[in-house]
Chain A
Amino acid sequence: MPSTENQENANPNGPSIKIEGLNKWFGSFHVLRDINLDVNHGERIVVCGPSGSGKSTLIRCINRLEEHQEGKIVVDGFHLTNDLKQIDAVRSEVGMVFQSFNLFPHLTVLENCTLAPIWVRKQPKREAEAAAMEYLERVKIPEQANKFPGQLSGGQQQRVAIARSLCMKPKIMLFDEPTSALDPEMIKEVLDVMVDLAESGMTMLVVTHEMGFASQVADRVIFMDEGQIIEQNTPQEFFNNPQSDRTKLFLSQILSH
């Protein structure tokens, strides 16, 4: 594991992700405003909020798909700055699942899963394949290993995407609306995999509007609006006893259908 003087509080008792005074602009648009957030090891956090509130941008800052201008982000002890070494270190520790799956269409399911272990982790191919098969079994599609992503249903593709991330043995998993592009009958198969993952103790940050999932597995629900964290609480308190008016409005909107 790369260790530099920049690495701090990698001790297992400290927070897994530490965000302090984070501000980000797209041009002159202030998309994230003074975000402070600590995520502990093994904690499961659900992020929700209206469209355009900056949820995706926030979790994309955590693996540096977006650059922030102000504030401090420390992921598993690595400081996110322009230092490419730190960025690579963070990216190999953090898995990400996208709304649109983003599987590599020219590679088979198995090749999708072994690519990063082979090229980033430098694992021998045989070993990477064995590990990949294990994860494909865990997401319940080992029989699709030699197909191409284009031949799978949306739900199957998203499960492959999850397995692909897990193959890098990440310490943290980020999910950006993993079920929003799926037909209703496929949402459950993906959520089941995620619940399973949550129960195994993975640190997870999940942007989702699946409130059932949130109340079942989340330790904390975070509500964002206009680039700010408006409210955070345990799921029970958050759903039954929302404090701010914006939260109440949001909940009434998404629970009404």
Chain B
Amino acid sequence: MTQPFFRQKDEMLSERPPPASTVGIIGWLRSNLFSNWINTSLTLLSLYILWMAVPSLIEWAFIKAQLSGDDRFACSEDGACWAWLDQRIGQFLYGLYPAKETWRINIAFVLLFPALAPWLIDNIPGKKWLRWYSIFYPFIAAWLLVGGWFGIIEGVTTNNLGGFALNLTVGLAGIVLSLPIGIMLALGRQSRLPLIRWFSVIFIETVRGVPLITLLFVSNILLPIFLPPDVALDAVIRVIIMVSAFASAYMAEVIRGGLQAIPKGQYEAASAMGLGYWQSMRLIILPQALKISIPGIVNTFIGLFKDTTLVIVIGLFDILGIANAMVSNPDWLGLSSETYVFVSLFFFAVCFSMSRYSMRLERKLDTDKR
């Protein structure tokens, strides 16, 4: 038998702060980096690797680097050679777009941000108007990039659109198209109507079952089948269609995974209160399914964005195509490290931003632990 036990009121323990070794920087270091011997040795190993790599990388990229010069012979042997940047940066950004017209791309780029804002930021004034604006933005941008205007502004053929501007154009268009198409395909695959279900399954499986590069190669044979005769499709439009179709097929499967994770009770509760199919999907099922699918969706977006470099196979020069051309140019022969590091930074910046944004979104939508 245990002894009966009680405390009188004047014996109650008062609150005291946690031990110093468990809070603050020391506490954090202790529990995260040096909690046991495995953790401690991993920490030390990582520090060693960083110590070896970072200083020499900085030395190569900045300290010993050559920043100016007319060709690679101006560069010393041991540092990076950035001399080409000055000459070539325009091509990396805009491709073969006429130099005196590049302001149009810049304006289109600046106008992009107010179009993205109402979808990405919660508390933004004039959200409703910005949403309307964002619906018109693709047309505004397309007109800025290629359209002409009464001879005052000249038309530009899309074949001249290149560099990172092309990656961004195709990537953004693909992202904006593939999400809704993917949602429709995912719903279609679960439809009770056989025709819709079969169409979705066939589309998803064929498109997902072949490499994107082959889709791009066959796009000029394949797409005209679905179009009226004598409509010639522009190369950039063709790429956008193919890249979006490809990403949509992946997207559909990612979202289907999310849909399957929603308990049957949610569908039942929605029907029991009289919501129709589209209402339950829009208000109940998709918000939850998309939330679960965020990691997969962003994964698909990132893959899509990097796949925009494949446009080279149909003769367009995106940033990677420009880089390839430059490293085989005798003036700058052998500068592949510098060039590809430079190109990677662009992709990394975009993909990493998407990843960070999605993590923030996931935390915000996590209604269980708020």
Contact = CB atoms under 8 A, between A and B. Distances in A.
A125 to B, nearest CB: 14
A102 B265 contact: yes
B269 A104 contact: yes
A96 B370 CA distance: 28
Contacts, number: 66
Contacts of A65: 268, 271-272
Chain B: interface secondary structure?
Answer: helix
Interface residues of B, number: 22
Interface string B136-157: 0000000000000000000000
B370 A102 contact: no
A105 B368 contact: yes
A63 B272 contact: yes
Interface in B261-277: 263, 265-266, 268-269, 271-276
Interface stretch (A114-122, A189-197, A212-220): A114-122
Given A106-B288, A106-B365, A150-B367, A116 B265 contact: no
A53 B24 CA distance: 60
A91 interface: yes
Contact of B274 (A102, A116, A164): A116
Interface string A91-113: 11011101010111110000000
A100 B265 contact: yes
B276 A88 contact: yes
A116 B370 contact: no
Contacts of A102: 263, 265-266, 268-269
Given A65-B268, A65-B272, A102-B268, A148 B370 contact: yes
For chain A, the bracket of interface size reads 20 to 34
Contacts of B287: 106
A177 to B, nearest CB: 13
7 contacts: A65-B271, A104-B288, A106-B367, A115-B283, A120-B274, A120-B279, A164-B273
Interface of B: 263, 265-266, 268-269, 271-276, 279, 283-284, 287-288, 291, 365, 367-370
Interface of A: 63, 65, 88, 91-92, 94-96, 98, 100, 102-106, 115-116, 119-120, 148, 150-151, 164-165, 168
Given A98-B268, A116-B274, 18 more contacts: A65-B271, A91-B271, A91-B272, A92-B273, A92-B274, A94-B272, A96-B272, A100-B263, A100-B265, A102-B263, A102-B266, A103-B269, A104-B266, A104-B288, A105-B368, A115-B275, A120-B273, A150-B368
